[in-house]
Amino acid sequence: MRILIFGDVVGRSGRRKVCEALPFLRRDLAVDFAIVNGENAAGGFGITPKICDQFIAAGADVVTTGNHVWDQKDIIPYFDKEKRLLRPHNYPEGTPGTGMGTYEDSEGRRVLVIHFMGLLFMPSLDDPFTGIERALLNKKMGEEYAAIIVDFHGEATSEKVAIGHMLDGRVSAVVGTHSHIPTADHQILPGGSGYITDLGMCGDYDSVIGMKKETSIARFRKKVPAPRLEAAQGEATLCGVIIDTDDDTGLTTNITPFREGGRLSPTPPFVSKNNQEPR
C-alpha cells in the first residue's frame, strides 16, 4: 500500500496548494491512501467544515488536526457528522469527536489512523503513551489492518522519538506534526516502522512557521500587545512523506520525504509504481 501524508496545512495558500495538487499526486504517484493534517488551514487557526470538505473532495481519506482544533467554533458539531476528521485522541472523555478511526482504500484494505498530542510544551491532556497503548490493544497489522498510521502532534522532538521507538514494529509508521519545519530523520526503525519527527507544513516558508514574518518578529521584540498573527499568503511548499507498506505485515518498506513548490528545495522526482514521474 502507498500512503501519502501531508504536514500541517497553513492558511489559504497552503490549502489551495493541497487541493490543487492532491488529485494529480494520487493519480501520478499511484497513492492508495492520503492523510492531511489541516489544523492551521483556516487562516492559521483551526479548520472549518467547508475546508475539511474541500480536503476530502480533493482526495484526503483522513484529516487530522492538533492543538488548534477548537479555534473555529463551527467545527465542534461537525465531528458528529464527519468521521474522517480526527482530533487528538487524548482529550478527556466526553470531548466531541474521536482521535482514532478505521478506513478503507479503494481495494478494501483497512487502515487504522490514530491521532495523539504530546504533553511537553503543549496543552495538558491525558498521557499519550498510556493512551496509545490502550488504543492499540488487540489490534494487529497484517490481520485486521493492512496499515496503522500514527499522527503524533507535539512540540518536543524527544517525545516524538520516544513514541516512535515505543511503537516500532507495532504500527506501519509514526509521523510527527506541529512544528511546521520538515526534519531530515525519515527512516525505517529497527522493528520495521516508518518514522519522521516532523512532516513540515504545507504553507508559505517566506514566513515564521507560516505566519507573516513582520508581525511575528514584532511579537518577539516587544513586550506589549501586538497585532494578531496572520497567515502568510505567498506560494506554498507542500511537505510530507510517501510511505510504502507490506500488505502481509503492515510494516514500512520505504519512506520518502516529499517537498514541492514554494521556497524549499524540492525532493527528487518520485517514480510511481508504473515508473512514471509525476507531472
- Cross-strand partners of 231: 211
CA dihedral 243, 247, 253, 256 (to 10 degrees): -10
CB 97 within 8 A of CB 85: yes
- Percent of the chain past pLDDT 70, that is, above it, reads 96
CB 67 within 8 A of CB 122: yes
242 closest CA partner among 103, 115, 149: 149
Catalytic residues: 68
Q: Encode pLDDT of 230-260 as tens digits.
A: 999 999 999 999 999 999 999 999 999 999 9
Per-residue pLDDT at 270: 66
Per-residue pLDDT at 183: 98
Longest dimension (CA), the chain: 57
CB 148 within 8 A of CB 142: no
- Ordered by start, the domain boundaries in the chain are 2-260
Residue 253 has phi, psi (to 5 degrees) of -105, -20
pTM: predicted TM-score of the whole model, two decimal places: 0.95
Q: At how many degrees (to 10) do helices 128-135 and 157-167 cross? A: 30
Coil, strand, or helix at residue 213? helix
Which residue stretches of the chain have pLDDT < 70? 270-279
User: 2-260 is classed in which CATH architecture?
Assistant: 4-Layer Sandwich (3.60)
Q: Encode pLDDT of 20-34 as tens digits.
A: 999 999 999 999 999
